[in-house]
């Protein structure tokens, strides 16, 4: 392959790219800005960062010891921001989206809950009013509320005045109950009488011998599986990978559109009239596209490293390999745009849609784990998924060179497939 | 220098070029005339190697042109109808690129750029971006790009479309200089007066076929003039190809 024409094509494309200020800004500055924004959202709480609390409103219509204990428990939870407005104010706040969930504790809740706790009394309702666009927060509030209600009710039942009172009332009822089998009735009465004995004992000094009710029977020790035990997850690594890939794909789609414009302006007639092979012409385009793509990715990550302390915790060679494979894949995607596009205008519209679909399905915007299981499997056919996973692996996951070989191989496979299809479908004849 | 032998090209049922033959010698300009859709551009494209003919040969210096990378393509320069230039690059960088496609580099490329820009009168604008050029300057640079590698044969596809009389006249001077240097020029145009001024021979094609191949005086002598005056080439052309609209 003659080197002078090939190098000339690469140099010319680089000159054209850097002479277009708009392209340079879109390709280099915009992914950094958006990557920084997404990174700040998805980084998760750091050591010195207060977690985002879910805004809820609690309306206590009961006013019992149990309901007060529930409100106290919810107010002390580090995941919640609790307000205690009127019901009307709470409903309005949820409707306007300012509050995720409104918890309404009805009148006589404590009494009914106590009865239901020991006997077969009807279970009282807790009414939740919620913002339908915040289902995830509703699920979290439901779980947190269950913990605090169980703790409050059981604490009162096993250690409070209400508990003693209900126990005394429940024992005769259980003894008379025809619906409980005799063997079970005997065991239940034995257990409740033991509790009654505890109630009747005087409190020891310090008052710590009384049962404190049910509590969570375990403590959670959380360990984020990053590159190392003392290395925190850096969400900027993922966001810069995603945005870098998105914008290099846009840049390469634009390269394909530019090729269509070159054809429209008669430039390909001139190129094809020179004694240069088709392979050299396409390789020149692919090479210049790959260089531009690689520059976009490396500049994005250099910024993320300098400003947001993103580090390549895994193999540096693996990272460069994934970045290079990703760049070649994106460049061959640009060739495919030029080969399949009928006109610059239609190609621009179609490729914008294609790139947005690829980056969305590939996990460049949001992590793929939130997708349904079938979609997570499906996205394996999307090259962006391999690119994002490969860059994640070599940055914050700290995976070594061997672990990056699979994404490199798959991305080069996509590049070969795109390139072969582009070469096959490219319109060479210039009439 | 350039011989076209029985070229044929069809697109499905449409025969664009049908058994076209002609030749151009050194120092000669052959005017290729025809109405829109007659097959001129397809013929030029086959001569430039952009389209593979279904039948026939293009001979350059007596040897047939074969394939994309045939070294004989270095003997051919194409000046396309479109302004095939990169607007965002300077005139010099455009020529550096097009010269490199013919493997020119270093001092040889610099010399070729200086010579081409000098010929078309743009030496003082070499560092300016093409987008700042007038239409006439772009046309002259378009011509310079086809001349960089010093081809023996120059294919000019309507090279004066949309230029002012001054630039057109400058291009004519350039072409006459190239003829003096012994280049073989194949020139397509719709402007009859250009062919009358420049062409040594004229080939008229219509519906893909050659319908006349003669000198200007030979063509004119085919039609009787009024009061002994010679008819214009346009009158000959309209007589040969008819007056019906082709677009």
Chain B residues inside the 8 Å CB shell of A17:
none
**What global pTM score does this model have?**
0.76
Per-residue pLDDT, A349? 87
User: What would the DSSP string read from start to end of B146-177?
Assistant: HHTT--SEEEEESTTTT--HHHHHHHHHHHHH
Per-residue pLDDT, A429? 73
d(CA A154, CA A160): 9
Per-residue pLDDT, A67? 92
Work out the average pLDDT over B164-170. 87
**Mean pLDDT, contiguous 10-residue spans, chain A (431 residues):** 90 93 88 90 60 88 92 91 94 90 92 77 88 87 91 82 77 83 86 79 57 68 66 84 93 93 90 93 95 95 93 93 97 94 88 92 81 86 94 89 94 96 86 56
Helical residues (DSSP H) of A309-343, grouped into ranges: 316-340
Does the distance separating the beta carbons of A277 and B68 come in below 8 Å? yes
Alpha-carbon distance B212 to nearest alpha carbon in chain A (angstroms): 23
The pLDDT tens digits of the residues spanning B122-163 come to 999 999 999 999 999 999 999 999 999 999 999 999 988 888
Q: Among B16, B48, B84, select the one facing A267 at the smallest CB separation.
A: B84
Alpha-carbon distance B86 to nearest alpha carbon in chain A (angstroms): 8
Does the distance separating the beta carbons of A8 and B100 come in below 8 Å? yes
- The CATH class of the A54-200 domain is alpha beta
Q: Among A5, A266, A429, select the one facing B81 at the smallest CB separation.
A: A266
Quick check: A372 contacting B, CB < 8 Å?
A: no
Tokens of B28: 């000669």
Per-residue pLDDT, A176? 83
The pLDDT tens digits of the residues spanning A61-102 come to 999 989 999 999 999 998 899 999 999 999 999 988 889 999
Q: Among B50, B89, B98, select the one facing A16 at the smallest CB separation.
A: B89
Chain A residues inside the 8 Å CB shell of B70:
275
Contact (Cβ atoms closer than 8 angstroms) between residue B69 and residue A279 = no
Does the distance separating the beta carbons of B41 and A11 come in below 8 Å? no
Q: Is the dihedral of CA B201, B204, B210, B216 positive or negative?
A: negative
d(CA B165, CA B197): 14
Within 8 A by CB and 6+ apart from A143, the residues are none
Tokens of A3: 């080197």
User: What does the domain layout of chain A look like in residue ranges?
Assistant: 3-43+234-425, 54-200
B74 pLDDT band, cuts 50/70/90, is very high
B67 pLDDT band, cuts 50/70/90, is confident
Complex prediction ipTM:
0.89
Per-residue pLDDT, B76? 96
Per-residue pLDDT, B40? 92
The A residues from 5 to 44 touching B (CB cutoff 8 Å) are 5, 7-9, 11-12, 15-16, 19-20
Q: Chain A interface, mutation test: which of B60, B68, B159, most A Cβ atoms within 10 Å? A: B68
Quick check: A279 contacting B, CB < 8 Å?
A: no
Q: Among A12, A20, A272, select the one facing B50 at the smallest CB separation.
A: A272
Tokens of B61: 């210096």
B227 pLDDT band, cuts 50/70/90, is low
User: What does the domain layout of chain B look like in residue ranges?
Assistant: 2-241
Residue B60 pairs in a beta bridge with B2, B63
Percent of chain A residues past pLDDT 90, beyond the cut: 53
Within 8 A by CB and 6+ apart from A346, the residues are none
Q: Is the pLDDT of residue B57 over 90?
A: yes
Within 8 A by CB and 6+ apart from A33, the residues are none
Does the distance separating the beta carbons of A8 and B101 come in below 8 Å? yes
Q: Is the pLDDT of residue B237 over 90?
A: no
Does the distance separating the beta carbons of A267 and B89 come in below 8 Å? no
Quick check: A1 contacting B, CB < 8 Å?
A: no
Longest dimension (CA), chain A: 105
In degrees, rounded to 5, the angle at the alpha carbon of residue B110 between the alpha carbons of residues B104 and B115 is 105
d(CA B91, CA A60): 80
Q: Find the helix or strand (DSSP H, E) in which A95 lies.
A: helix A87-95
Please provide the CATH number assigned to the domain covering B2-241: 3.40.50.300
Q: How does A92-121 read in b/e, with b if 16+ C-beta sit within 10 Å?
A: ebbeeeebbbbbbbeeebbbbbbbebbbeb
Name residue, tokens 């010698």.
B25
> Comparing B166 with A15, which gets the higher pLDDT?
A15
Chain B residues inside the 8 Å CB shell of A266:
80-84
Mean pLDDT over each residue of chain B, to the nearest integer: 91
Q: Among A5, A266, A272, select the one facing B82 at the smallest CB separation.
A: A266
Alpha-carbon distance B107 to nearest alpha carbon in chain A (angstroms): 14
Nearest alpha carbon to residue B31 among A267, B22, A72: B22
Work out the angle between the directed axes of helices A235-264 and A344-361 (0-180°, nearest 10). Answer: 160
Closest chain B residue to A259, measured at CA: B86
Work out the average pLDDT over B107-123. 94
Q: How many CB pairs under 8 A join A and B?
A: 96
């Amino acid at each position: 392959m003659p080197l002078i024409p090939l190098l000339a094509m690469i140099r010319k494309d680089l000159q054209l790219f850097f002479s277009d200020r708009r392209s340079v800004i879109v390709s280099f500055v915009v992914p950094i800005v958006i990557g920084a924004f997404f990174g700040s959202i998805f980084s998760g709480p750091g050591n010195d960062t207060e977690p985002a609390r879910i805004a809820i409103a609690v309306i206590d219509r009961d006013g019992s010891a149990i309901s007060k204990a529930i409100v106290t428990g919810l107010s002390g939870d580090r995941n919640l921001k609790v307000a205690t407005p009127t019901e009307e104010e709470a409903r309005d706040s949820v409707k306007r989206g300012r509050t995720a969930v409104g918890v309404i504790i009805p009148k006589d809740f404590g009494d009914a809950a106590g009865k239901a706790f020991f006997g077969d009394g009807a279970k009282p309702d807790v009414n939740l009013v919620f913002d339908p666009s915040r289902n995830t927060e509703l699920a979290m509030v439901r779980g947190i509320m269950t913990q605090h209600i169980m703790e409050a009710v059981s604490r009162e039942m096993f250690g409070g005045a209400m508990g003693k009172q209900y126990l005394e009332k429940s024992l005769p009822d259980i003894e008379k109950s025809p619906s409980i089998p005799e063997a079970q009735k005997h065991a239940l009465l034995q257990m409740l009488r033991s509790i009654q004995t505890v109630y009747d004992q005087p409190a020891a000094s310090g008052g710590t011998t009384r049962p404190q009710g049910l509590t969570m029977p375990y403590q959670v020790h959380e360990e984020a599986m990053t590159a190392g035990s003392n290395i925190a997850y850096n969400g900027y690594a993922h966001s810069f990978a995603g945005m870098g890939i998105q914008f290099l794909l846009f840049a390469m789609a634009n390269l394909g559109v530019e090729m269509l414009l070159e054809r429209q302006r008669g430039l390909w007639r001139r190129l094809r009239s020179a004694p240069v092979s088709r392979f050299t012409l396409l390789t020149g385009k692919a090479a210049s596209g790959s260089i531009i793509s690689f520059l976009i990715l490396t500049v994005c990550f250099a910024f993320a490293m300098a400003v947001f302390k993103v580090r390549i915790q895994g193999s540096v060679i693996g990272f460069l390999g994934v970045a290079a494979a990703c760049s070649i894949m994106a460049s061959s995607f640009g060739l495919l745009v030029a080969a399949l596009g009928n006109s610059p205008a239609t190609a621009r519209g179609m490729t914008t849609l294609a790139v947005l679909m690829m980056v969305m399905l590939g996990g460049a915007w949001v992590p793929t784990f939130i997708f349904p299981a079938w979609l997570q499997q499906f996205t394996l056919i999307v090259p962006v998924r391999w690119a994002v996973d490969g860059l994640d692996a070599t940055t914050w996951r700290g995976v070594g060179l061997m672990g990056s070989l699979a994404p490199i191989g798959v991305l080069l496979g996509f590049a070969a497939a795109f390139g072969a299809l582009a070469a096959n479908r490219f319109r060479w004849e210039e009439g | 220098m350039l011989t076209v032998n029985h070229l044929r090209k069809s697109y499905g049922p449409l025969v664009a070029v049908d058994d076209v033959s002609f030749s151009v010698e050194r120092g000669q300009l052959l005017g290729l005339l025809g109405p829109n859709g007659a097959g001129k551009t397809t013929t030029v494209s086959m001569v430039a190697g952009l389209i593979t003919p279904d039948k026939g040969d293009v001979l350059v210096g007596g040897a047939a042109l074969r394939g994309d990378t045939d070294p004989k393509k270095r003997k051919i320069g194409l000046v396309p109808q479109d302004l095939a230039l990169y607007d965002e690059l300077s005139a010099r960088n455009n020529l550096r690129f097009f010269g490199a496609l013919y493997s020119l580099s270093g001092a040889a490329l610099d010399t070729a750029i200086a010579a081409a820009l000098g010929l078309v009168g743009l030496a003082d604008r070499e560092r300016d971006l093409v987008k700042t050029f007038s239409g006439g300057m772009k046309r002259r640079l378009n011509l310079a790009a086809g001349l960089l590698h010093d081809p023996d044969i120059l294919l000019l596809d309507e090279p004066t479309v949309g230029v002012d009389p001054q630039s057109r006249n400058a291009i004519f001077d350039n072409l006459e200089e190239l003829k003096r240097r012994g280049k073989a020029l194949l020139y397509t145009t719709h402007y009859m007066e250009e062919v009358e001024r420049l062409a040594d021979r004229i080939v008229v094609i219509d519906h893909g076929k050659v319908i006349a191949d003669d000198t200007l005086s030979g063509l004119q002598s085919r039609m009787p003039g009024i009061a002994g005056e010679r008819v214009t080439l346009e009158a000959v052309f309209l007589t040969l190809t008819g007056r019906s609209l082709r677009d």
